[in-house]
Structure 1
Amino acid sequence: MINIYGIKNCDTCRKALKTLSAAGLDHQYSDFRVDGLSSDNLDKWIVAVGWEKLLNKRGTTWRNLSDGIKNSVNEAVARDLMLENPTLIKRPVFDTPQGVIVGFTKTEQALLGF
């Protein structure tokens, strides 16, 4: 089973869910805003892919942070920020039996078997 994490109004998350459903792949979706985010999951993802890949610096939440915070980001700060503001996590996050995959570009789709 593939566990997918994201937010419901994210176009990329919707595209990923539609693709997995069309392929008949067994999956479960968790919305950060509705279901929350466990520190255990976040720590697992950071170990698997690195905090730099997980931290979404292109979104509105990042742009709304103060320059002081943005300029002082390291792994510990990024972890705390992502726990406090899960929309700072690049989406979607796929937790698969083979490992953690972040995003849904052609590269990630190939890793998922599409």
Structure 2
Amino acid sequence: MKLRVYGIKNCDTMKKTFSFLEAEGIVYEFIDYKKQSPDISLLSGFADKVGFEALINKKGTTYRKLEDQEKTDLEYKSKAIALLTEKSSMIKRPIIEFPDGGIVLGFEPEQIKERLG
């Protein structure tokens, strides 16, 4: 498995991530949530590594537009994961998955460099 980057192509944070990876000469596979929706298994795996709460982008428009009940549902792992599969724009970006299965959540250049060693 090579480095995988999960997110949405037109996101500003993703553009920074792509520029960084390319400037560093890092080869990666990009998985665009808009073309390939994440499934419960994938998101559950990420949640096991970083906690499901960390996957939720509460700063974005998608989160702000949620109904109160949906926001309450985000407090429970199974409901949160299900909602994130439906509303992938609400997943914090990027999620970078390394060949060893480790991940970095968000654009964190130092963490990325450290992981690539």
TM-score, L = length of structure 2: 0.88
Partner of 1:53: 54
Q: Which runs of 5+ in 1 are unaligned?
A: none
Match of 2:26 in 1: 25
Q: Which residue of 1 aligns with 2:13?
A: 12
1:91 shift after superposition:
0.3
Q: 1:89 to 1:24 in 2, by over 3 A?
A: same
Is the 2:20–2:109 contact (alpha carbons within 8 Å) kept by the matching residues of 1? no
Structure 1 runs (4+) greater than 2 angstroms displaced = none
Mind listing any 5+ residue stretches in structure 2 that lack a counterpart?
none
Which range moved further: 20-29 or 35-44? 35-44
Q: Provide the alpha-carbon RMSD of the alignment.
A: 1.4
Work out the number of aligned pairs and report it: 111
- Looking at structure 2, the residues matched to 29 and 72 of structure 1 have their Cα atoms a distance apart, in angstroms, of 29
- In the alignment, what sits opposite 1:62? 63
Describe the SS at the equivalent of 1:45. helix
TM-score by length of 1: 0.90
Residue number among 93, 103, 106 corresponding to 1:103 in the alignment? 106
